[in-house]
């Protein structure tokens, strides 16, 4: 590293992020982070000002899911603490985001004077909190090691595909340091014996069984293993399915795809096929309540094989330090090509399919089912589709064409995240990609102010707001007036924030709105408000709510 008195720690961190493909940093300025923001000017990285820090964290998450790495910055205390929910979601769903907080001067951490944005005698609170919601935290309070500490954090973030937290005291941000040399990033390595033994056992089970089904999940996306999974499916002739968490947007068009599996929330042929299989491989997919239809899945421990990012779990054995990428490569090598498997699998079992003809009934009121039937024909290759909360439940049953990127937080399941992520997606998208967001009215109210950010930066996403007058998911669990929300006129919001709005009550209205959406260029978002009955919910939506209610 070459010393240069003109290069500061802030410059160093910005150069590192830029070299790793981060061209935008989301966040809100504040006095403890202002030197870093000042250095952002002229760094080649654009600052994107969200309306609050939580939304900025969501945006960085959405950006990272598409770009491979995201970053967000804010001031100490209220700013950083507002990141916490976004950081937790990134940790749960393995998203590499760098959370950056300013801080008081280094000396203040020792003497702990009573300053604004600080907790009395608890300057270490932010570090302790972020230890719980990130994989690595570091207070950069040593000028001699600040650059090494930055490099270590970034290496961990990229290797583990999980968020990290860096806290930069204000004086450290302007401390001189050296120019960065190329960062050497290495993926974590599997334990050779664990990898060998686990693959041998799985291959033996596949060869002895009549039916094996592969269910890829969100960890496949994070490690960019989609093409290798496609190779595995095609070369070995294995049927595959998609799930709620980490919806496998890259396989749903394939003839090998049986459709959505979500326990009792699946179409019956899909459910029967999966649950009668000898082996069901959760490949980078978590067998959680939401993925298993509220634990309605009838799968035994003997059927299930869990291949996660750091372990392989079978009924009677567990192997640590086995990476999904290494496991897939070993399986490709050890498993014979196109060996004989039981036939008669269902094909592309989705409730809403582009192959099923849709004819609008112009005067018919919009329904939940008909809306998603129509959206199946609207989404096209190249689109980035973001879904939030209840809309994510419904869109999991939507078959996506090849080349669509799907973004949803279905494991951490924080409502409002999907629209915040769509802001980040607008900056990660290339010029030919449309960003489409599917929002329930309740989730949209959480983060709706980012419409103004979209207009400010000249972004033109297409936003569908399904207005069912409240929290329908919660109504189905336990109804009460607490599930009602303010009745906004969502299509009118662009008048204040920027963009264009359309009100949709009938199928004919939706056709007119989609005709505008096809060629929409902005400025600002196109908000299409779709009115449906408050109790209009899909069968899978109702099932999940009943399960959460305890039935």
The reply to whether 368-549 shares the fold of 192-334 is yes
Q: What fold characterizes domain 192-334?
A: Rossmann fold (3.40.50)
Q: What is the pLDDT of residues 350-361, one digit of tens each?
A: 999 999 999 999
Distance CA 233, CA 239 (A): 7
Q: How confident is the model at residue 344 (pLDDT cuts 50, 70, 90)?
A: confident
| Nearest of 49, 152, 151, 60 to residue 99 by alpha carbon | 60
Residue of 457, 523, 451, 460 whose CA lies nearest to 492: 451
Residues 364-390 have pLDDT tens digits of 999 999 999 999 999 999 999 999 988
Burial class (CB in 10 A: 0-12, 13-18, 19+), 300: exposed
pLDDT value of position 5 = 61
What is residue 389's predicted lDDT score, i.e. its pLDDT?
87
Q: Are 210 and 345 in contact (CB under 8 A)?
A: no
Question: Which structure tokens are listed for 414?
Answer: 């924080």
How would CATH label the architecture of 3-178?
3-Layer(aba) Sandwich (3.40)
494 and 428 in contact (C-beta within 8 Å)? no
Cis peptide before 291 (omega within 30 of 0): no
Give me the residues paired with residue 284 across strands.
none
Per cent of the chain over pLDDT 70 is 93
pLDDT tens-digit profile of 41-53? 999 999 999 999 9
Fold assignment, 368-549? Rossmann fold (3.40.50)
Q: What is the number of residues in the chain?
A: 551
- 537, pLDDT greater than 80: no
Q: Which of the four pLDDT bands, split at 50, 70 and 90, describes residue 476? A: low
Domain boundaries, the chain: 3-178, 192-334, 368-549
Query: What distance, in Å, lies between the first and last C-alpha atoms of the chain?
Result: 62
Q: Distance between CA 398 and CA 356 in Å, rounded?
A: 12
User: How many CB atoms neighbour CB 355 within 10 A?
Assistant: 9
Q: Mean pLDDT, to the nearest integer, of 82-95?
A: 98
Mean pLDDT for the stretch of residues 118-142: 96
CA proximity to 457, closest of 29, 13, 50: 50
Sheet with 46-48, side-by-side order of all strands:
46-48, 24-27, 70-74, 97-103, 164-169, 136-139
82 contacts 52 by C-beta, under 8 angstroms: yes
> How many other C-beta atoms are found inside a 10 Å radius of the C-beta of residue 42?
9
CA distance 217 to 331: 17
Q: What pLDDT does 338 receive?
A: 77
CB count, 10 Å around CB of 326? Answer: 20
pLDDT surpasses 70 at 544 = no
């Amino acid at each position: 590293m070459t010393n240069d008195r003109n290069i500061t720690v802030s410059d160093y961190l910005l150069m590192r992020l830029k070299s790793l493909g981060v061209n935008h940093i989301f966040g809100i300025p504040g006095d403890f982070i202002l030197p870093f923001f000042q250095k952002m000017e002229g760094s080649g990285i654009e600052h994107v000002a969200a309306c609050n820090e939580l939304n900025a964290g969501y945006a960085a998450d959405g950006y990272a899911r598409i770009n491979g790495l995201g970053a967000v910055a804010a001031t100490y205390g209220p700013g950083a603490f507002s990141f916490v929910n976004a950081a937790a979601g990134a940790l749960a769903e393995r998203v590499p985001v760098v959370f950056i907080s300013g801080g008081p001067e280094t000396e203040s951490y020792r003497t702990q004077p009573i300053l604004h944005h600080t907790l009395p005698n608890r300057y270490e609170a932010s570090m302790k909190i972020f230890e719980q919601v990130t994989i690595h935290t570091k207070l950069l309070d040593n000028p001699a090691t600040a650059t090494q500490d930055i490099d270590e954090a970034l290496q961990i973030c990229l290797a583990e595909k999980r968020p990290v937290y860096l806290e930069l005291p204000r004086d450290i941000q302007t401390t001189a340091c050296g120019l960065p040399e190329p960062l050497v990033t290495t993926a974590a390595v599997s334990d050779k014996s664990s990898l060998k033994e686990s693959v041998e056992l799985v291959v033996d089970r596949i060869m002895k069984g009549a039916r094996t089904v592969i269910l890829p999940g969100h960890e496949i996306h994070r490690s960019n293993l989609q093409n290798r999974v496609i190779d595995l499916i095609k070369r070995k002739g294995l049927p595959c399915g998609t799930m709620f968490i980490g919806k496998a947007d890259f396989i749903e068009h394939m003839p090998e795809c049986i459709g959505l599996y979500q326990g009792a929330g699946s179409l019956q042929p899909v459910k029967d096929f999966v649950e009668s299989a000898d082996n069901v491989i959760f490949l980078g997919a978590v067998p959680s309540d939401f993925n298993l239809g509220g634990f309605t899945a009838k799968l035994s421990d003997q059927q299930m094989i869990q291949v996660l990012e750091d372990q392989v779990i079978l009924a009677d054995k567990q192997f640590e330090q086995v990476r999904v990428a290494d496991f897939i490569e070993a399986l490709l090598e050890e498993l014979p090509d196109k060996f004989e498997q039981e036939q008669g699998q269902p094909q592309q079992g989705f409730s809403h399919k582009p192959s099923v003809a849709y004819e609008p009934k112009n005067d018919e009121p919009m329904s939940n089912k008909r809306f998603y039937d129509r959206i199946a024909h609207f989404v096209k290759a190249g689109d980035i589709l973001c879904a939030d909360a209840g809309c994510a439940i419904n869109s999991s049953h939507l078959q996506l064409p090849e080349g669509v990127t799907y973004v949803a937080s279905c494991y951490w399941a924080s409502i409002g995240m999907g629209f915040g992520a769509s802001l980040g997606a607008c900056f990660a998208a290339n010029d030919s990609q449309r960003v489409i967001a599917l929002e329930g009215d309740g989730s949209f109210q959480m983060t709706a102010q980012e419409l103004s950010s979209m207009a400010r930066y000249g972004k033109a996403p297409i936003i569908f707001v399904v207005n069912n007058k409240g929290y329908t998911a919660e109504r189905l669990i336990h109804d009460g007036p607490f599930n009602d929300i303010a009745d906004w006129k969502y299509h009118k919001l662009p008048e204040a924030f920027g963009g264009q709005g359309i009100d949709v009550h009938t199928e004919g209205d939706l056709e007119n709105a989609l005709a505008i959406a096809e060629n929409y260029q902005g400025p600002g978002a196109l908000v299409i408000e779709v009115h449906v009955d408050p109790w209009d919910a899909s069968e899978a939506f109702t099932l999940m709510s009943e399960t959460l209610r305890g039935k």
